[in-house]
Amino acid sequence: MHPDQWRDRWKQNRIGFHEPTVNPYLCRYLPEFNLNQGDTIFLPLCGKAHDIAWLAQQGFQVVGIELSEIAIVSFFSEHDLTYQQSESERFILRKSGNISLIQGDYFDLQRQDLSACKMVYDRASLIAIDAANRGRYCTHMLSIIPQITDQLLITLDYDQAQMKGPPYAVSTAEVGQHYNSEYSINRLEQNDVLDERPRWRDQGLTRLTETVFILNGKKA
Ligand SMILES: C[S@@+](CC[C@H](N)C(=O)[O-])C[C@H]1O[C@@H](n2cnc3c(N)ncnc32)[C@H](O)[C@@H]1O
């Protein structure tokens, strides 16, 4: 989707992807990353996920990037947080305590922006990118995060012929195509979630699986 289409979705409040609570897989698997207090976690395409606030409450530095001003400003106001705002050539940065939300295009991020990153949490982000651009998304990820930055990745898979997306269908095989060279890919869980999302059955889906991966960076 074009950036304006995402911004329009936020304007029209068409944000079915936004979860009402903290993601349970994040709570379950965060300990696997053996992070220290103060470590930086990067959330690409972060929306206004409650996960941002939860991670900050656990004592981590949280850095998210998001196209939509509405998403970012709503996040701070819904969590009763005041923020400081600054602007650079590429981005508008809003910061409150250990939360830094960057308003701008993920593809404009540079390595220097994420030099402190110790973990990537990708929920509904890779799967928000269409097939033509997913390779570019992953190549860009590898170019902006420090080497051997582990990732928690949550994907959805279904028959792409049955629904246009987003979210787009991303198979385990495709995750491997993008990330095998740099990561050991460990599938932690795979769940059939169609019953939990009946509106997608109504749209014609006959199968919907959610998969949780830990991507462990290979040493050079
Ligand atoms: C499917 S939502 C997922 C949001 C969040 N990860 C969550 O779990 O709620 C994808 C988000 O990415 C944002 N987005 C899409 N393309 C982007 C880009 N190139 N750079 C930054 N944000 C982008 C959209 O505005 C949208 O809020």
Q: What domains does the chain contain, in order, with CATH numbers?
A: 3-13+25-30+37-217 (3.40.50.150)
How far, in Å, is the centroid of ligand 1 from the Cα of 204? 24
The model's pTM is: 0.97
Q: Is residue 12 scored above 80 in pLDDT? A: yes
pLDDT value, residue 76? 98
| Residue pLDDT, tens place only, 78-127 | 999 999 999 999 999 999 999 999 999 999 999 999 999 999 999 999 99
Q: Is residue 69 scored above 80 in pLDDT? A: yes
Q: Write the CA distances from 107 to 25, 90, 98, 140, 181, integer angstroms.
A: 26, 11, 23, 7, 21
Residues in the chain: 220
Closest ligand 1 atom to Cα of 127: 1
pLDDT value, residue 220? 63
For a mutational test of ligand 1's pocket, the pick from 10, 25, 42, 66, i.e. the residue with the most ligand atoms closer than 8 A to its C-beta, is 66
| Confidence class for position 219, pLDDT limits 50, 70, 90 | confident
How far, in Å, is the centroid of ligand 1 from the Cα of 151? 17
Q: What is the mean pLDDT of residues 21-30?
A: 98
Q: Is residue 177 scored above 90 in pLDDT? A: yes
How far, in Å, is the centroid of ligand 1 from the Cα of 190? 23
| Helix, strand, coil % over all residues of the chain, rounded to 5 | 35, 25, 35
